[in-house]
Structure 1
Amino acid sequence: MTASPGTDTVVVVTTTDSDAEAERLARGLVDAHLAACVQIVGPVRSAFRWEGAVSVETEWQLVAKTAADRVDDLTAWIAAEHSYDVPEVIALPVVGGHAPYLGWVIEETQREGAPDA
């Protein structure tokens, strides 16, 4: 597998507690050119410890595709716009994939309105 086409592409995962917020966040990320595409998956069940207690809650997962150089801006945007006190934001490097798609991700996140566009 050739890693070079994907090295500039990252998948960022976050979750939220409602379909409405998931859609609001997804639309906002795409509108701001912070993500080329955001898939909303859910509902899913998440088990976690928060404030000393274990909880199992229904959430919606967002899977955003973005350029590596946009991860910090995307993370800051989620932190500012998310309803959770400590939202999950996990960035996973893409090591390869369909070059035209990966190129589209980079192009979409570098358009007008994007910093350093």
Structure 2
Amino acid sequence: MDRLGARCPLPSYPRLSVLTCLLLLTVSLLTYPMLRTLSLQLHSAVTGSYVSGTYSIVFVNCPNEHIARDIARTILDKKLAASVNILPKASSLYFWNGEIEEATEITLLIKTKTSKVHMLSSYVRSVHPFEIPEVFSLPMDQVDVHYLKWLKESMEEH
């Protein structure tokens, strides 16, 4: 017992304090993104200001216009977005199975709440004909207040 005391001369309670502090620090770091998002939403609600990143634009490439329209309509029906632009025929070059491929695709620009991007992405992956559909989003910044109001109202459940 003397040997243990010689190596760890501090009483056990400071070690417990250090462990507690480390645990609190870890929990704080893990919950920071969620707490930050909630605080920004609260600030936005109280001040009426727009918080950058509250809304996003999601990009999805489709093999043809028919599939693009079907996906766009269903996304709107499900209130997963407020608006979808269907951009005509983009030439795409990409690597697939180690080879350079070339295709013509239709691009969807989907305007939605950032909080709905995960659900929207899951839906697109479930119905998209590509093995690995291109689905990515960018946060909106500097949004016009009137457009923001329309976005918000368009996505509300009635």
- The Cα offsets for residues 10-67 of structure 1, whole Å up to 9 and x where unpaired, read as 0000101111001001111111101110000011100100111111100000000000
1:59-70 matches, cutoff 5 A = 59-70=105-116
Query: Partner of 1:71 in structure 2?
Result: 117
The one of 83, 91, 102 aligned to 2:129:
83
Q: Which runs of 4+ in 1 moved over 3 A?
A: none
Question: SS of the counterpart of 2:106?
Answer: strand
Structure possessing the higher radius of gyration over alpha carbons: 2
- The Cα offsets for residues 52-101 of structure 1, whole Å up to 9 and x where unpaired, read as 11111000000000001111110111011111111011110001121121
Shift in Å, 1:5: 5.2
Question: SS of the counterpart of 1:76?
Answer: helix
Matched residue count: 110
Query: Partner of 1:96 in structure 2?
Result: 142
- Aligned mates of 1:58, 1:109 — CA distance in 2: 31
On the 8 A contact 1:7/1:95 being kept in 2, the answer is: yes
Q: What is the TM-score with the length of structure 1 in the denominator?
A: 0.87
- Aligned mates of 2:131, 2:120 — CA distance in 1: 17
Question: SS of the counterpart of 1:60?
Answer: strand
- Aligned mates of 1:107, 1:79 — CA distance in 2: 26
Percent identity between matched residues is: 27
Query: Partner of 1:20 in structure 2?
Result: 66
On the 8 A contact 1:6/1:96 being kept in 2, the answer is: yes
Q: Per residue, is there more helix in 1 or in 2? A: 2
On the 8 A contact 2:52/2:141 being kept in 1, the answer is: yes
Q: Per residue, is there more strand in 1 or in 2? A: 1
Question: SS of the counterpart of 2:150?
Answer: helix
5+ long unaligned stretches in structure 1: 113-117
5+ long unaligned stretches in structure 2: 1-48
Aligned alpha-carbon RMSD (Å): 1.5
- Aligned mates of 2:59, 2:132 — CA distance in 1: 14
1:42-61 matches, cutoff 5 A = 42-61=88-107
Query: Partner of 2:83 in structure 1?
Result: 37
